[in-house]
Structure 1
Amino acid sequence: MSTETLIKVKEILAEQFSQEVEQSSGKVLIDFYAPWCAPCKMLAPVVEQIALEHEDIKVVKINADNSQELMAKFGIRGIPTLLLMNNGELMATKVGAASVSQVKTFVQQ
Protein backbone atom coordinates (compact mmCIF):
# COMPACT_ATOMS: atom_id res chain seq x y z
CA MET A 1 0.00 0.00 0.00
CA SER A 2 1.47 3.35 -0.95
CA THR A 3 1.62 6.17 1.58
CA GLU A 4 -0.78 8.18 -0.57
CA THR A 5 -3.60 5.73 0.13
CA LEU A 6 -2.97 5.75 3.88
CA ILE A 7 -4.41 9.22 4.34
CA LYS A 8 -8.02 8.99 3.23
CA VAL A 9 -9.42 11.87 5.27
CA LYS A 10 -9.38 15.20 3.47
CA GLU A 11 -9.14 18.40 5.49
CA ILE A 12 -11.38 21.09 4.05
CA LEU A 13 -11.98 24.75 4.81
CA ALA A 14 -15.39 26.23 5.57
CA GLU A 15 -15.39 27.83 2.09
CA GLN A 16 -15.17 24.35 0.54
CA PHE A 17 -18.08 22.92 2.59
CA SER A 18 -20.79 23.51 0.01
CA GLN A 19 -18.80 21.94 -2.83
CA GLU A 20 -17.23 19.08 -0.85
CA VAL A 21 -20.20 18.15 1.37
CA GLU A 22 -23.54 19.69 0.42
CA GLN A 23 -23.12 19.04 -3.31
CA SER A 24 -21.70 15.56 -2.76
CA SER A 25 -23.84 12.54 -3.61
CA GLY A 26 -23.89 9.74 -1.09
CA LYS A 27 -22.71 9.73 2.51
CA VAL A 28 -20.19 12.19 3.90
CA LEU A 29 -18.74 11.89 7.41
CA ILE A 30 -17.50 15.21 8.77
CA ASP A 31 -15.12 15.39 11.73
CA PHE A 32 -15.14 18.78 13.48
CA TYR A 33 -11.94 18.93 15.51
CA ALA A 34 -9.30 21.28 16.89
CA PRO A 35 -5.53 20.67 17.01
CA TRP A 36 -5.45 21.36 20.78
CA CYS A 37 -8.33 18.99 21.61
CA ALA A 38 -7.21 15.72 23.27
CA PRO A 39 -10.44 13.75 22.53
CA CYS A 40 -10.16 14.94 18.90
CA LYS A 41 -6.67 13.42 18.71
CA MET A 42 -8.07 10.15 20.08
CA LEU A 43 -10.83 10.17 17.45
CA ALA A 44 -8.56 10.95 14.48
CA PRO A 45 -7.25 7.37 13.92
CA VAL A 46 -10.81 6.04 14.31
CA VAL A 47 -12.05 8.40 11.58
CA GLU A 48 -9.08 7.42 9.41
CA GLN A 49 -9.92 3.72 9.83
CA ILE A 50 -13.56 4.34 8.87
CA ALA A 51 -12.35 6.16 5.74
CA LEU A 52 -10.12 3.20 4.81
CA GLU A 53 -12.80 0.57 5.44
CA HIS A 54 -15.76 2.39 3.86
CA GLU A 55 -14.92 3.30 0.27
CA ASP A 56 -18.56 4.38 -0.18
CA ILE A 57 -18.28 7.15 2.42
CA LYS A 58 -16.43 10.41 1.82
CA VAL A 59 -14.65 11.52 4.99
CA VAL A 60 -13.56 15.10 5.67
CA LYS A 61 -12.14 17.02 8.64
CA ILE A 62 -12.88 20.62 9.53
CA ASN A 63 -10.86 22.65 12.02
CA ALA A 64 -13.49 24.02 14.39
CA ASP A 65 -11.32 27.00 15.33
CA ASN A 66 -11.51 28.27 11.74
CA SER A 67 -15.17 27.40 11.09
CA GLN A 68 -17.36 29.28 13.57
CA GLU A 69 -20.12 29.84 10.99
CA LEU A 70 -20.41 26.12 10.26
CA MET A 71 -20.33 25.34 13.98
CA ALA A 72 -23.25 27.73 14.48
CA LYS A 73 -25.11 26.42 11.42
CA PHE A 74 -25.14 22.89 12.84
CA GLY A 75 -25.49 23.88 16.50
CA ILE A 76 -22.15 22.39 17.45
CA ARG A 77 -21.14 23.36 20.98
CA GLY A 78 -18.48 20.75 21.71
CA ILE A 79 -15.75 18.94 19.86
CA PRO A 80 -15.05 16.44 18.55
CA THR A 81 -18.36 16.30 16.72
CA LEU A 82 -19.10 13.97 13.84
CA LEU A 83 -21.82 14.82 11.34
CA LEU A 84 -23.19 12.25 8.92
CA MET A 85 -24.70 13.70 5.78
CA ASN A 86 -26.30 11.94 2.85
CA ASN A 87 -26.85 13.75 -0.45
CA GLY A 88 -26.34 17.08 1.32
CA GLU A 89 -28.87 16.36 4.08
CA LEU A 90 -27.85 16.05 7.74
CA MET A 91 -28.66 12.51 8.90
CA ALA A 92 -27.08 12.32 12.37
CA THR A 93 -24.73 13.97 14.86
CA LYS A 94 -22.35 12.33 17.33
CA VAL A 95 -20.52 14.39 19.97
CA GLY A 96 -17.40 13.26 21.80
CA ALA A 97 -14.71 10.64 21.32
CA ALA A 98 -15.93 7.24 20.16
CA SER A 99 -14.57 3.78 19.46
CA VAL A 100 -14.24 2.29 15.98
CA SER A 101 -17.32 0.12 16.58
CA GLN A 102 -19.36 3.12 17.76
CA VAL A 103 -18.41 5.14 14.67
CA LYS A 104 -19.09 2.16 12.38
CA THR A 105 -22.59 1.87 13.84
CA PHE A 106 -23.00 5.64 13.44
CA VAL A 107 -22.08 5.67 9.73
CA GLN A 108 -24.18 2.60 8.89
CA GLN A 109 -27.47 4.11 10.01
Structure 2
Amino acid sequence: MFRASAARAGASFRRKAATSAQARPFTSASTPKARTSAPKPTTSPFAARSASTPFPFPTHGVAASSIPSLNTLATRAQSTTAGAGGPALPALGGMIEAGDGDLEAILEAAGDIPVVVDFYANWCGPCKMLTPILTASIKTQAKTILVKINIDEAEQVAAKYEIASLPTVKAFVRGQEVDSFIGSRDRRGVEKFLEGVVGK
Protein backbone atom coordinates (compact mmCIF):
# COMPACT_ATOMS: atom_id res chain seq x y z
CA MET A 1 0.00 0.00 0.00
CA PHE A 2 2.77 2.42 0.99
CA ARG A 3 4.78 1.64 -2.12
CA ALA A 4 1.79 2.22 -4.41
CA SER A 5 1.07 5.62 -2.77
CA ALA A 6 4.69 6.63 -3.06
CA ALA A 7 4.76 5.63 -6.72
CA ARG A 8 1.65 7.70 -7.46
CA ALA A 9 3.09 10.67 -5.56
CA GLY A 10 6.33 10.46 -7.58
CA ALA A 11 4.47 10.32 -10.87
CA SER A 12 2.36 13.31 -9.86
CA PHE A 13 5.53 15.28 -8.96
CA ARG A 14 7.15 14.53 -12.30
CA ARG A 15 4.07 15.70 -14.24
CA LYS A 16 4.01 19.02 -12.35
CA ALA A 17 7.71 19.54 -12.96
CA ALA A 18 7.30 18.90 -16.71
CA THR A 19 4.34 21.29 -16.89
CA SER A 20 6.30 23.96 -15.04
CA ALA A 21 9.29 23.53 -17.37
CA GLN A 22 7.05 23.98 -20.43
CA ALA A 23 5.43 27.13 -19.00
CA ARG A 24 8.77 28.79 -18.09
CA PRO A 25 11.44 28.35 -20.77
CA PHE A 26 15.03 28.00 -19.62
CA THR A 27 17.09 31.22 -19.55
CA SER A 28 20.78 31.60 -18.95
CA ALA A 29 22.85 34.62 -17.88
CA SER A 30 25.14 34.03 -20.82
CA THR A 31 22.29 34.15 -23.38
CA PRO A 32 22.19 37.65 -24.99
CA LYS A 33 18.99 39.61 -24.68
CA ALA A 34 17.06 40.43 -27.81
CA ARG A 35 17.47 44.04 -29.06
CA THR A 36 14.33 46.02 -28.44
CA SER A 37 15.37 49.29 -30.18
CA ALA A 38 14.78 49.81 -33.89
CA PRO A 39 17.91 49.41 -36.10
CA LYS A 40 19.58 52.63 -37.24
CA PRO A 41 19.15 53.50 -40.94
CA THR A 42 22.12 52.48 -43.07
CA THR A 43 21.40 54.91 -45.94
CA SER A 44 22.98 58.36 -45.98
CA PRO A 45 20.68 61.40 -45.68
CA PHE A 46 22.30 62.70 -48.89
CA ALA A 47 20.98 59.64 -50.73
CA ALA A 48 17.47 60.43 -49.54
CA ARG A 49 17.87 64.05 -50.65
CA SER A 50 19.11 63.12 -54.09
CA ALA A 51 16.14 60.78 -54.53
CA SER A 52 13.60 63.52 -53.80
CA THR A 53 15.29 66.88 -54.46
CA PRO A 54 18.17 67.28 -56.94
CA PHE A 55 21.39 68.94 -55.85
CA PRO A 56 22.01 72.51 -57.05
CA PHE A 57 24.78 71.31 -59.36
CA PRO A 58 24.71 68.63 -62.11
CA THR A 59 26.08 65.28 -61.08
CA HIS A 60 25.60 63.35 -64.31
CA GLY A 61 24.91 63.69 -68.02
CA VAL A 62 28.35 65.06 -69.00
CA ALA A 63 29.96 63.08 -71.80
CA ALA A 64 33.59 62.18 -71.25
CA SER A 65 34.39 63.19 -74.83
CA SER A 66 33.32 66.79 -74.09
CA ILE A 67 36.00 67.23 -71.43
CA PRO A 68 39.28 68.36 -73.05
CA SER A 69 42.40 66.41 -72.14
CA LEU A 70 45.50 68.01 -70.67
CA ASN A 71 47.28 67.61 -74.00
CA THR A 72 44.49 69.51 -75.76
CA LEU A 73 44.61 72.34 -73.23
CA ALA A 74 48.41 72.56 -73.54
CA THR A 75 48.14 72.75 -77.34
CA ARG A 76 45.59 75.57 -77.07
CA ALA A 77 47.83 77.49 -74.69
CA GLN A 78 50.82 77.16 -77.02
CA SER A 79 48.77 78.40 -80.00
CA THR A 80 47.56 81.42 -78.03
CA THR A 81 51.10 82.26 -76.95
CA ALA A 82 52.48 81.93 -80.46
CA GLY A 83 49.85 84.32 -81.84
CA ALA A 84 50.27 86.87 -79.03
CA GLY A 85 53.57 88.22 -80.45
CA GLY A 86 52.05 89.50 -83.72
CA PRO A 87 51.22 88.22 -87.21
CA ALA A 88 53.27 85.42 -88.73
CA LEU A 89 55.26 86.88 -91.62
CA PRO A 90 56.13 84.88 -94.73
CA ALA A 91 59.72 84.19 -95.74
CA LEU A 92 61.52 86.68 -97.97
CA GLY A 93 59.93 86.53 -101.39
CA GLY A 94 56.66 85.27 -99.92
CA MET A 95 53.13 86.69 -99.94
CA ILE A 96 50.43 87.26 -97.30
CA GLU A 97 46.83 88.51 -97.47
CA ALA A 98 45.79 91.28 -95.06
CA GLY A 99 42.69 93.22 -94.09
CA ASP A 100 41.59 96.10 -91.89
CA GLY A 101 43.76 96.25 -88.78
CA ASP A 102 46.40 93.86 -90.14
CA LEU A 103 48.69 96.11 -92.13
CA GLU A 104 50.05 98.18 -89.25
CA ALA A 105 50.90 95.05 -87.29
CA ILE A 106 52.63 93.52 -90.32
CA LEU A 107 54.71 96.65 -90.94
CA GLU A 108 55.77 96.75 -87.31
CA ALA A 109 56.66 93.05 -87.26
CA ALA A 110 58.66 93.35 -90.50
CA GLY A 111 61.12 95.84 -89.03
CA ASP A 112 63.91 96.51 -91.56
CA ILE A 113 62.46 94.11 -94.13
CA PRO A 114 60.91 96.03 -97.06
CA VAL A 115 57.18 95.38 -97.41
CA VAL A 116 55.43 95.79 -100.79
CA VAL A 117 51.67 96.28 -100.51
CA ASP A 118 49.42 95.57 -103.50
CA PHE A 119 46.00 97.23 -103.22
CA TYR A 120 43.64 95.46 -105.63
CA ALA A 121 40.06 94.35 -106.31
CA ASN A 122 38.69 91.20 -107.89
CA TRP A 123 36.82 93.19 -110.54
CA CYS A 124 39.95 95.16 -111.56
CA GLY A 125 41.36 94.02 -114.94
CA PRO A 126 44.79 95.71 -114.65
CA CYS A 127 45.12 94.21 -111.15
CA LYS A 128 44.83 90.73 -112.64
CA MET A 129 47.57 91.57 -115.13
CA LEU A 130 49.94 92.97 -112.48
CA THR A 131 49.49 90.32 -109.80
CA PRO A 132 51.44 87.45 -111.45
CA ILE A 133 54.26 89.81 -112.51
CA LEU A 134 54.56 91.33 -109.04
CA THR A 135 54.39 87.96 -107.30
CA ALA A 136 57.03 86.38 -109.56
CA SER A 137 59.40 89.34 -109.33
CA ILE A 138 59.27 89.46 -105.52
CA LYS A 139 59.78 85.70 -105.32
CA THR A 140 62.80 85.86 -107.63
CA GLN A 141 64.39 88.80 -105.82
CA ALA A 142 63.70 87.27 -102.35
CA LYS A 143 64.54 90.50 -100.53
CA THR A 144 61.04 91.78 -99.79
CA ILE A 145 57.63 90.39 -98.79
CA LEU A 146 54.35 91.01 -100.60
CA VAL A 147 51.14 91.99 -98.81
CA LYS A 148 47.94 91.86 -100.87
CA ILE A 149 44.91 93.88 -99.69
CA ASN A 150 41.48 93.61 -101.30
CA ILE A 151 40.03 97.11 -100.91
CA ASP A 152 36.45 95.79 -101.06
CA GLU A 153 37.15 93.85 -97.86
CA ALA A 154 39.46 96.41 -96.22
CA GLU A 155 37.78 99.77 -96.75
CA GLN A 156 39.32 101.38 -93.65
CA VAL A 157 42.93 100.79 -94.64
CA ALA A 158 42.12 101.82 -98.24
CA ALA A 159 40.70 105.10 -96.96
CA LYS A 160 43.68 105.65 -94.64
CA TYR A 161 46.17 105.37 -97.51
CA GLU A 162 43.88 107.27 -99.92
CA ILE A 163 43.60 104.53 -102.52
CA ALA A 164 41.76 106.17 -105.43
CA SER A 165 42.98 104.11 -108.40
CA LEU A 166 43.75 100.44 -108.93
CA PRO A 167 46.11 98.80 -108.90
CA THR A 168 48.11 100.83 -106.38
CA VAL A 169 51.41 99.49 -105.08
CA LYS A 170 53.16 101.01 -102.06
CA ALA A 171 56.48 100.07 -100.47
CA PHE A 172 57.25 100.45 -96.75
CA VAL A 173 60.51 100.25 -94.80
CA ARG A 174 60.41 100.37 -90.98
CA GLY A 175 56.75 101.31 -91.19
CA GLN A 176 57.30 104.34 -93.44
CA GLU A 177 56.19 104.62 -97.07
CA VAL A 178 59.27 104.96 -99.31
CA ASP A 179 57.87 104.55 -102.83
CA SER A 180 54.71 103.73 -104.83
CA PHE A 181 53.22 103.46 -108.29
CA ILE A 182 49.73 103.30 -109.81
CA GLY A 183 48.62 101.12 -112.71
CA SER A 184 50.12 98.03 -114.26
CA ARG A 185 53.80 97.61 -115.19
CA ASP A 186 55.78 95.07 -117.14
CA ARG A 187 58.31 92.73 -115.59
CA ARG A 188 61.24 95.09 -116.08
CA GLY A 189 59.35 98.02 -114.58
CA VAL A 190 58.44 96.01 -111.50
CA GLU A 191 62.02 94.79 -111.04
CA LYS A 192 63.38 98.37 -111.16
CA PHE A 193 60.81 99.42 -108.58
CA LEU A 194 61.88 96.59 -106.23
CA GLU A 195 65.55 97.40 -106.67
CA GLY A 196 64.91 100.98 -105.62
CA VAL A 197 62.94 99.86 -102.56
CA VAL A 198 65.68 97.52 -101.34
CA GLY A 199 68.29 100.24 -101.66
CA LYS A 200 66.41 102.60 -99.33
Counterpart mapping for 1:82-93 below 5 A: 82-93=169-180
User: C-alpha distance in 2, partners of 1:56/1:101?
Assistant: 17
CA contact (8 A) 2:117 2:147 kept: yes
Following TM superposition, where does structure 1 have runs of at least 4 consecutive aligned residues deviating by more than 2 angstroms? none
The residue identity in structure 1 corresponding to 2:94 is K
**2:115–2:171 contact (8 Å) kept in structure 1:** yes
1:79 to 131, 146, 166: 166
Say how many residue pairs are matched: 104
Give me the whole-angstrom Cα distance separating, in 2, the residues matched to 1:23 and 1:89: 13
Give the match's secondary structure for 2:101. Answer: helix
Q: Alpha-carbon deviations, 1:20-63, whole Å to 9, x = none?
A: 12442220000000011110000110111122112110111000
Q: Which runs of 5+ in 1 are unaligned?
A: 1-6
Give the match for residue 21 of structure 1: 107
Would you say the 8 A contact 2:99–2:157 is kept in 1? no
Equivalent residue, structure 2, for 1:42: 129
Preserved CA contact (<8 Å) 1:23 1:88: no
Specify the code of the residue in structure 2 equivalent to 1:8.
G
Q: Name the counterpart of 2:149.
A: 62
Query: 1:22 and 1:79, CA in 2 relative to 1: closer, same or farther beyond 3 A?
Result: farther
Contact between 1:30 and 1:60, CA under 8 Å: does it hold in 2? yes
Question: TM-score normalised to the size of structure 1?
Answer: 0.85
2:152 counterpart SS class: helix
RMSD between aligned residues: 1.8
Higher relative contact order (CA 8 A, sep 6+): 1
Deviation for aligned residue 1:19:
1.5
Partner of residue 31, structure 1: 118
Residues 22 and 87 of structure 1 are in contact (CA less than 8 Å); yes or no, is this contact kept in structure 2?
yes
* CA contact 1:22–1:89 (8 Å) conserved in 2: no
Query: Residue 184 of structure 2: SS of its match in structure 1?
Result: coil
TM-score after normalising by structure 2: 0.49
User: Aligned AA for 1:34?
Assistant: A
CA deviation map 1:45-101 (0-9, x unaligned)? 011112211211011100011222222222210111000111111011110011111
Q: 1: distance between equivalents of 2:120 and 2:108? A: 19
